[in-house]
Every structure is written in structure tokens, then in C-alpha cells.
Structure 1
């Protein structure tokens, strides 16, 4: 079996020297341990290529590495990247501390143990998180761009959640202590009422962050490789529990504040025989939680609610419960791609593809490759591109082609130097092809008159012995040997899912005809690249010499040279 065949059969195992893809400056061999530790810490701050969001934000590994390098070499290198390992840790910590504050922290009105943990453990962690959020980048939801500029990060946080995060902590307690130290009295006449007011403010401020908490919970589960169905189920359960938990607290706290532990006979607390002084706090909480769940989902309970303030709370609980049920149904439809037209068409075509592969009894590896190709090609959306393009005017069509291939234009030298009209005509004349990993795009000896430009992806260049010479990435071209010979002199294999634009040699030369300097420049550059490939091939041939024969000749084990000694 040839080396090319083995490459196609197995996963791509790169034989080229490994490159440092962090974008960080290399350390000298005699670097101190402090420099090494600092470098490892910086690695935690930059983009993690294995982050689950990379697949949706970047089309290939090259784009991921480019973003990583952009962050590492920018003036904002100290900013925590939103797709970094450290930010994943911050999100998990945020979820734990804010969930504790919402669930357990609200019970501190009668459970002193929770109050101690809240003040001495959770509070310092939350303050530290608030400070770190001024240095964490974010993803712009409209443009899908990653923002790492410090000023934008600070302004965004100040305009959104900073005030709520501050008030959800025990900041008011600190101000209260300062007020007492200055004036010698409480802000309100009753110390108990003031503590109750501060509790309500903390509750309201913490609830503002419920969606953020659930998003971070979902991200944490995704980082732990939890499957989609289980992840959605756990997030919905967490959301539902938080809502009924808040209403359970309201069902207890409103009578507690209004009647100060002396429940009227018509109160549900009196009917449940609840006494704050003697009843177990967890029993009180469970009774309130059951009552909240029943009215939230429209189920009757054993208590006869006749008190006006309790009736108003339960009406609110029932109303929001109905709205939440409708929201839950709509969100499930949205998540599973049934609500949107393009998403439903995509799901329907995916279903047809799966049925086709099952009917043909295709092997699992081939099925996985076809599914990956389909997902890359349509990006979870399905539409008839040709019909849309045919309805556009020539001007709009040209602008669309220029925008679609903007990354290619930025990286291909000749396209950057041509007028927009000519570039648009060239792009319109190209055909786009997508190749799955391990697909042979060109093979040594094939006759072709087409030149390939890589839009996104990576390909490997192999010589006649199947030895890997180099990788070509976004903006590189191959197939250029057709300019000097009839047959291809290298084999080109896709390393990852790769999209290329293809144009005929004669057609490209015709477009470049009015620009002879650019045409000569392109041909000259192509010959230089082919010459570089020959140098790489010669180096690879020297490395594949039989080591055993070299050992027998004594060419490898040679006498050690004497070190020069300075006297």
C-alpha cells in the first residue's frame, strides 16, 4: 500500500515539523522559569482552538490560528479572549456563585449558615469576577466579530450589567456600615426593615443575570462535551427551577413582610401550620415550592387562598407560568430548527440524506464524511443560491461576488491589484468546490488546465513517493504547474474541509491580458513557487535515505568534534 493510500485511509497525521501556532514570541533556550510560567499563563488567555464555538465562528483551522495570532500580537494581549480556557473557568465560576446567590442566598433571611458562606466565600469570589469582567472580550451578536479592545469592553460592561452585579453583592451592607459609622444610626428607623429592603434589592439585581447564568451553564456543559439533547434538558430544568424558586420565596416573603410572623387565619401559612420560630426552614421552603409549582403549571393545591395579597401573587405566578409554557414550546421549536424556513429545509434535506445513506448501507466513516461535508456546505441553512443570484442586477451580482470572496481577494496578490470590475468578473467566472478531509483534489500525472485558489481550508502537497512537502492554506493557489507543463507534478490532498475557487488557465490569462505586468508577475511568482517545491522535494528525498545503509557505511556515527576551549 502506497503512502498516499495510507493517508487517504487513515486520519491525516502530519509529517511536517510542528509549528508554534500560539502567536506568542518564542522563548530563548536559557529562559528563566518565571518567563516559562508567564508564557503558560498567557496561553490560558488566548483563543483555545478546541473551544466548541470555534466551529460556528470560524470556517477552518487557518481562521482559528489567524484569530489566535491577532490576539497574541495585538496591543490588547492582556485581555482574556472569550474563547479561551480561562474564560471557560470564569463562566463556570460565575454559574456556581450566581446560582448559589439566587437559590441559597435568598434563603438567608432565616438560614444563618447560608449567610456565613455567602459573605465569607461567595461574596469575595463575585467581587473578583466583577473586576475581571472589565478585561474579558465578547462576541458581537450582530456582526459575529470578537471584540478585544479594552475601551469597548469596559463601556459595554458599564452600560449593561455592572450596576446590577454590584447591587447583587453585599455592597449596600458596606455602605450601611459607613453610614452608621458617620451618622450613628440606621438609614431607616427599623433595622429589620432595612435588612429586608436590602434583601429584596439583592434578589432583584441577581435575577437580572438569570439569562447570563443559563448561557454560561450551557457553555460549561458544552465544554464538558455534554450531548445536545442532555444539555438542552438540563438548561430547561435549571431555568424552570429558578423561576418556581423565586415565586416560592415571594409566596413566603410577602406575608412575612406584611404580617411580621403573625399570619391571619386565612393565610396559606396558617393553614400549613407554619411557625417561623419552630418549623424547620426546609419544610417551609418545600411547602412554598410545591405551592409555587402547582400554580405555575396550572394544578390546584389543597390550600384555600382567600387573602388578597396572596391571591395577587398566585395570579402573577399562574399568568407567568402560562407565558413560560408557550415560550418553552417556541424555544424548543427554534432550537431544533423547526421554526425557521431555511432551518426546516436543511433538517428535511439532512433527513433525506440519512435515509439515502442507510438505504445504500454506506460505511460509518463515509457517512460521517458526507454529513460533515453537507454541514460545511450549507452552514445549517438551505437555500437555492443560483435562483437568488439570477434575480439580482449585474451591479448587485458583482458586489455580492466581491463580498463573498473578500477574504480570498485580500490574500491573493493579483486580485488585490486588479480593478473591482475585473475582480468581480473573475470571481463570477470561477466555480466553487468543497472537498472533505482526505479527498484527492489533484493527483500527480493528471492533465488539467485549471488553477485552484483556496478560499478556506488546508491542503497537503505530496511528491511521487507520498512524502508530505508542505501545507497550503487560505489565499494560496495550486495547480499552477499547468502554466509550464501538461501534467501535474504533485498530489494535492485536503487536510480539512476545504473550499476552493477554480478557473481555467486560458480564461485567467484572458482576464489578465489587459494587464501584462500583472500577468508576467503571476507567471514569475508561480515559477518561483514551483522551484521552491523542487527544493522541498530534494530535501525530503535526502531525509528518506535508508538509515540502515548509512549506519553500515559509518556516515551517521562519526567521531565527536573537540570543543574549543578558551584559555
Structure 2
């Protein structure tokens, strides 16, 4: 039975936390504990450091690292090489993303309304509530600028987590740094008392509209983490973004009145807000271009009105497209998944299945489809034979070529074996093989963690991603010497004795050599296997 010690050791302390499995192995130390062993407040510092490393609670973690062992390997890589960097899939980063989402949205919603008011030196005082609130928001934004230099990122092109400090700094400097810095630097706060308060400096806050792209990503992460209904979430998000855009268009509209010193600038703030809203909504929805009690008195007004009308048409098209997209997404993805769940519920009621079995069925469906409904067999049937082989070889070559017994096989036989193995999914506590039974297949672990027990029930080790077991039963008519039980959600590939013999039949000399090596290995395993 083959194992990889590095991966085996990597999952011990994680496995102890798997519900339903009482691990009998010696508990491996928490990786954080290896780096925080002395000094004051050790428990508090360890908890804080755990907030900085990859979190199994983040849904993106399971797309990047599909098993507990891979998560542990990523934790070790992070702590050994990039101790002071914050992982992009950490709990701390999720919390900070949520804080920055609320901060940016408050700025983007409040500032265009607040900017309708006057600006003078007397406003630049901490006695003003709004001024203190804006100062607090700016402070959070300055903290975000500093943290952005030490937070890693996920490179989606090659599915890699980048934690190298130089790459993080260069990426931030080349993307959002300039916009964040200028939009956070409050001109009236730092220079207003010296050079005079300037109303037009408030346009600098409009640069935070660039952050709508980031806010969209952050909101998507929140939706995944909290499992919010997709239909309601997207409806809320597009409504929110539409409100933000309308508010800033109102601000631009008012800027022209301020520039031309029209009477509107002398009325109260609430009246200004409703007049600006009326003007913008009339233009965007193509009602008219009349601007309250003021006719357009300059060519610039006409140009702006023309551009606004065109933008209004584009806005209507965009709004209708997003509404259609929401309903299409709801009917095509969510409805399919919900339909499957309703069918399963009906089946469970019809068969009167116990609650424990019902939960296992739901767990299987969630792990199998990851909340997306697709028919893998139909997809594969629509591909040509060459593409099928390439996909299977890409997925399984590392699993098959690592088997010590198979190293003598010709490449053509390995390719044929890859096309013959079949995927299977096991839930926690499922028995994959039983000690004492005569087996006729071997298994390759693609994702998951399994425990190995002797015939007497003693737990001896764990197997995880990239390992295999059962190769002796595949080659010899001997009973299995150990039981293997899934302790995590596992995706395995199974190779039967019939398929193996069919693939190796044209090479009798190789088969004889492999059988001899397998028999010697079986004798060694039986002699050292503890009872």
C-alpha cells in the first residue's frame, strides 16, 4: 500500500476535526503553533495568525484546494515563506473586504449628496458631525491602502495564489493605488485653511467609482460565503449600483448650476437634491431635457444634455439586459438545482428514508455538483475520442504513473489504463475496501482523505490526494490486509482487474514481471502489517 509521508503527515490534525471520525493517530501540531511557541498572549496571537492564513470556511478555498491535505500544504507554504503576508482566502481578508465594501458604498452614496452643500473654511472643523464621519471613512481608506501592499491575490489565469511581496506591491501600484490615493486625499482638509476651500475638489471622490469593480467582486464573495439566494442577491446588487450611478449623475448636473452661479445653489439641500434628481431622471428616461425653471443658456448645457440623453438610452438597454439576465440565471441555474433538490425530497418522503440517510444524500449532491447542474456523460459524448483521452490523461496521469508497480508498463498501456478508470464519490464514514475480502480493483485518490485500519480495527495511517491503494488485490487473488474508510468527501478513480488484464494482455513478459514484483511486495506488507 503506497503512501506519501509528506501528505500523510499533513492531514493528521485536520482529520481529528472531521465529524464522525475519532482519529487514533498521534495528533500533529497545529502549523501556527510551530511558529508561535513563546512570548506573551500565545493563545491570542495564534488565533490572530489563524485569521491570516487560508480558511476552510471560504468557498473559494475549496475551488482552489479541494481537500484538507491541500489546504494544509497551502498553510505550511504560507507560514514558512510569507509569514507576514495576508492570504486572500483568509478570514481576516473576508472581514476586511466586508468593511471596505460598506466603506466604499457609504462614500459613493453619501458624498454626492453631501457635495450639494457649501464648502467654506468654517465647515473644516471637527465640530461638524458630517466632517467627522467623512474623516473616519477616509481613515479606513488609508488603512486599506497600507494593507493592500501585504494582502496576496489569486491569479485566476493560472489558478495560483500569489504571496510574493514584490509581485503584490507591483500589482497594486499598477492597478488601484493612484485612484485610491487621489480619492482618499482630502484636499479641503489638508489645504483648505491655507489656500481656501474649493468646491470642485469634491470631484476627487468620483474616482472611487473605479472601485465598483472591486465592490462587485467583494459582494460576490459575501454571497458565496453566506450562501445568499442568487436571484435576490443580484437584484439587490444591480439596484444598489444603479442608485450610486444616478447619485453621481445628479452631482455632475448640479456642478453646472454651481459653475454658472444659478439660483439653485442658494436653496436648501433637500430642495437641491430633488431638483437634481428630477433633471437626471427626465433625461435618462428620455422624458424631456427641460431643466426646472432654467432654460439652457450655453452651448455646453446643450452638449451635456445630448450626451446625457444618449447615456440614458444606453442605461435603459443595460438595465433591461441585467433584469433579463437575472431571470435567465434564475431559471437556468438555480431552478435546475432547486428542481433536483425537490425531486430528491419527494423521493425521500416516498421511501420514508431516515434523517441521517437524507443528510448523506444531500451532502453527496452538493459535493458532486457543487451547486451547478451538468451532465458529464453528455458533455464527454459530444467530444471526439482524442479530446476525451487528453482530458482523462490530464486528470489522471499523475495518479497512474506514481504507482511503483506500473513503472514497467509501456506508455501505450498507461494511456489505455487511464481511459479505463472510473470516477466514484465516497462520503465520510463510507467503507471503500474491507480487510479479509478478496478484492478485484484498486483505487486512486483524486481528492479526499481516507483512514487505513488493520483487521483488528487499529488505525495505522491516512491516505490523501495523489496516493493509491489496493494494487495487490488487482494483481493477486489474495485477501485485503487492511480496511480503508473515507473520513472526508472523497473522489476516487477505480481500476478493475478485468480492465487491467485487458490492457496488459499484449505484453505477457511485462505482466509476468509485474506479478512477481507484486507478490514480493505482498509478502513484505503481510509481514510488517500490525494486527
The TM-score with structure 1 as length reference comes to 0.72
Task: Give the distance between the partners of 1:76 and 1:515, measured in 2 at CA.
Answer: 48
Aligned ranges 1:384-399 → 2 under 5 Å: 384-385=376-377, 388=380, 391-394=383-386, 396-399=387-390
- Aligned position for 2:218: 216
State the match for 1:196 in structure 2.
Answer: 199
Residue 328 (structure 1) aligns with:
322
Cα distance change, pair 524–397 in 1 and its aligned pair in 2 (3 A): farther
2:273 corresponds in structure 1 to 285
Higher mean alpha-carbon deviation, 213-222 vs 307-316, is at 307-316
- State the shift of 1:94 in Å: 1.4
**Which residue pairs with 1:250 in the alignment?**
252
Q: In the alignment, what sits opposite 1:492?
A: 484
Any idea what the Cα deviations from partners look like across 1:8-31, whole Å, max 9, x if unmatched? xx95233334745754462697x3
Q: What CA distance in whole angstroms lies between the structure 2 residues aligned with 1:303 and 1:316?
A: 17
Question: SS of 1:454's equivalent?
Answer: strand
Q: Tell me the residue number matched to 1:81.
A: 87
Task: Say yes or no: does 1:503 pair with 2:495.
Answer: yes
2:312 to 312, 315, 318: 318
Query: Is the radius of gyration larger for structure 1 or structure 2?
Result: 1
Maintained 8 Å contact 2:21/2:487: no
**Alpha-carbon deviations, 1:395-443, whole Å to 9, x = none?**
x544322211255357655567866544322212222222233333223
* Rounded Cα–Cα distance in structure 2 between residues aligned with 1:408 and 1:213: 40
How far is 1:46 from its partner? 0.9
In structure 2, relative to structure 1, the CA distance for the partners of 1:290 and 1:64 (3 Å cut) is farther
Structure 1's unaligned 5+ residue stretches are 1-9, 264-268, 538-567
Partner SS, residue 135 of structure 1:
coil
Gap change, CA 1:214 and 1:387, over 3 Å in 2? closer
State whether residues 105 and 118 of structure 1, in contact with CA within 8 Å, keep that contact through their aligned partners in structure 2: no
Which of 186, 207, 225 is the matching residue for 2:209? 207
Mark the CA change 1:242 to 1:43 in structure 2 (over 3 Å): closer, same or farther.
Answer: same
Distance 1:21 1:451, change over 3 A: farther
**Could you give the per-residue CA deviations for residues 531-552 of structure 1, whole angstroms, max 9, x where no partner exists?**
66x43x5xxxxxxxxxxxxxxx
C-alpha displacement of 1:331: 3.6
- Aligned CA distance change for structure 1 residues 39 and 330 (closer, same or farther; 3 Å): same
Match of 1:45 in 2: 52
How many Å separate the matches in 2 of 1:522 and 1:283?
88
Match in the other structure for 2:164: 149
Specify the alignment match of 1:56 in structure 2.
Answer: 63
Moved more, 206-215 or 231-240: 231-240
Are 1:431 and 2:422 matched, yes or no? yes
User: Residue 120 and residue 347 in structure 1: after superposition, are their counterparts in 2 closer, same or farther (change >3 A)?
Assistant: closer
Q: How far, CA to CA, are the matches of 2:368 and 2:169 in structure 1?
A: 37
Q: What SS does the corresponding residue of 1:207 show, helix, strand or coil?
A: helix
1:166 positional shift: 1.4
Counterparts in 2 of 1:135 and 1:521: CA distance versus 1, 3 Å: farther
Instruction: State the distance in 2 between where 1:164 and 1:28 align.
Output: 38
2-structure distance, mates of 1:386, 1:290: 54
Residue 104 (structure 2) aligns with: 98
Q: Judge conservation of contact 2:85–2:152 (CA < 8 Å) in 1.
A: yes
CA contact (8 A) 1:22 1:68 kept: no
Match of 1:160 among 162, 172, 175: 175
Which structure has the higher relative contact order (CA within 8 Å, separation 6+)? 2
Distance 1:81 1:522, change over 3 A: farther
Whether contact under 8 Å (1:459, 1:492) holds in the other structure is: yes
1:116 aligns with 2:131: yes
Q: Please give the per-residue CA displacement for 1:107-134, whole angstroms capped at 9, x wherever unaligned.
A: 4432754662356322232122112112
Contact 2:436 2:479 in 1 (8 A): yes
Residue 104 of structure 1 aligns to a residue whose secondary structure is helix
Name the CA shift for 1:503/1:424 in 2 (closer, same or farther; >3 Å): same
Tell whether the 8 Å contact from 1:80 to 1:87 is kept in structure 2 after alignment: yes
State how far apart, in whole Å, the 1-side matches of 2:411 and 2:189 are. Answer: 63
Map Cα deviations across residues 349-374 of structure 1 (whole Å, 9 max, x no partner): 66665665565555554444334434
